[in-house]
Amino acid sequence: MILALETSCDDTCAAVVDGAGIVRSNVISSQAVHDAYGGVVPEIASRQHLQLMNLVVDDALAQAGVGLDDLEAVAVTRGPGLTGALLVGLATAKAIAIARGLPLIPVDHLQGHVAANFLGPDALEPPFVCLVASGGHSFVARVDDHTSFTVLGRTLDDAAGEALDKGARLLGLPFPGGPHVERLAAAGDPAAFAFPVARGVPGLDMSFAGLKTSLLYTVRDLDRDAASGGAAARGADLAASYQHAVVDQLARRTERALEQTGLDRLAIGGGVAANGPLRERLSRAASVVHIPGRALCTDNAAMIGGAARHLPAADPADVPGLDVYATDRRAR
């Protein structure tokens, strides 16, 4: 029975996962305070985690019907993410583990997104290709075992979720942008505007910075053209075309990865995996396609517990000095 904690960004998360990979509870407390700023403010995120952490842990234990005496290990996200936010989760995990004499299992956040596919009665077993697309990271990887993955291609600039958030801001939509872009796009024409999909980027790497710039110039041109009614009048078409460009690039790289590896098994993770058009497009990409429920796609602690089932615990002597890391250790 593993208590898992996740505080890499602005969601305060705790979950209980059992040895069979069944999620006994998965509590996610989102910090709506960032909406007014159009993005996550690290200092505010850290302070919110401090206020919410104990409450979220208590809720996760209560929903799972277990107490501290029933736990066999504590797992926690060590990185990458916001340093201050990560420290809150790590300090909490250390306190519980040391006080209760429990093993502490540090988990990489990105490994957690991959491991979301290992949870539940319909878990997907390696080998498979995995697309992880979130607000901070976007990559396609080959997964050959439960403990690691090999990156085949990654974004060279913005992550897909970040591109959707920035696009939403240009369209006057609230933060976080992805769900709002998807809702507005449902009434638009994805072929109305020809936004770039980074076809010139070699291999399986991705790029979304040019797409964001293209939307910026398109919005400016529409607002200068009085006859067009401005960008607001074309909002649904802009959102649909922009979303299509993001989804098309992610899907093309994933389909190419399946072809190059010869694998016909696909998994998807990360917050952008909650996007309906992406899920629909990739549902036909392989003979076996595993897409976790939306609660396991966005940041959550159940995925951290799922990864911890297959990872070693830290040496007890090293636990007090264990630190976080802010950036992806696999980055080139």
CATH code at 316?
Answer: 3.30.420.40
Cβ(140)–Cβ(204) below 8 Å: yes
User: Are both 141 and 282 inside the same structural domain?
Assistant: yes
Q: Quote the DSSP letter at residue 131.
A: E
- The pLDDT of residue 200 is 78
- The pLDDT of residue 228 is 73
| Burial of 15 (C-beta count, 10 Å sphere; 0-12/13-18/19+) | buried
User: Are both 108 and 137 inside the same structural domain?
Assistant: no
Q: Which two tokens stand for residue 198?
A: 């980074």
User: Are both 192 and 253 inside the same structural domain?
Assistant: yes
Strands (E) in 7-72, as ranges, are 11-17, 23-30
User: Are both 263 and 146 inside the same structural domain?
Assistant: yes
User: Are both 157 and 275 inside the same structural domain?
Assistant: yes
Q: Which two tokens stand for residue 47?
A: 């302070």
User: Are both 186 and 274 inside the same structural domain?
Assistant: yes
- The pLDDT of residue 197 is 84
Answer whether residue 158 is part of any domain: yes
- The pLDDT of residue 39 is 67
Boundaries of domain holding 273: 124-291
C-alpha Rg value of the chain to the nearest Å: 20
Number of domains in the chain: 2
User: Are both 155 and 208 inside the same structural domain?
Assistant: yes
User: Are both 249 and 302 inside the same structural domain?
Assistant: no
Answer whether residue 326 is part of any domain: no
Angle ∠(312,297,163) on CA atoms, nearest 5:
115
Three-class DSSP category at 64: helix
Per-residue pLDDT of the chain (332 residues; tens, 9 = 90+): 999 999 999 899 999 999 999 999 999 997 666 565 566 788 888 999 999 999 999 999 999 999 999 999 999 999 999 999 999 999 999 999 999 999 999 999 999 999 999 999 999 999 999 999 998 899 999 999 999 999 999 999 999 999 999 999 999 999 889 999 999 999 999 999 999 888 778 899 999 999 999 999 999 999 998 777 889 999 999 999 999 999 999 999 999 999 999 999 999 999 899 899 999 999 999 999 999 998 999 899 999 999 999 999 999 999 999 999 998 876 55
Angle ∠(6,140,170) on CA atoms, nearest 5:
75
User: Are both 287 and 301 inside the same structural domain?
Assistant: no
User: Are both 111 and 129 inside the same structural domain?
Assistant: no
Answer whether residue 302 is part of any domain: yes
DSSP string of 214-240?
Answer: HHHHHHHHHHH-GGGTHHHHTHHHHHH
User: Are both 286 and 139 inside the same structural domain?
Assistant: yes
Answer whether residue 197 is part of any domain: yes
Answer whether residue 327 is part of any domain: no
Answer whether residue 110 is part of any domain: yes
Answer whether residue 329 is part of any domain: no
How crowded is residue 280: how many other Cβ atoms within 10 Å of its Cβ?
Answer: 11
User: Are both 160 and 275 inside the same structural domain?
Assistant: yes
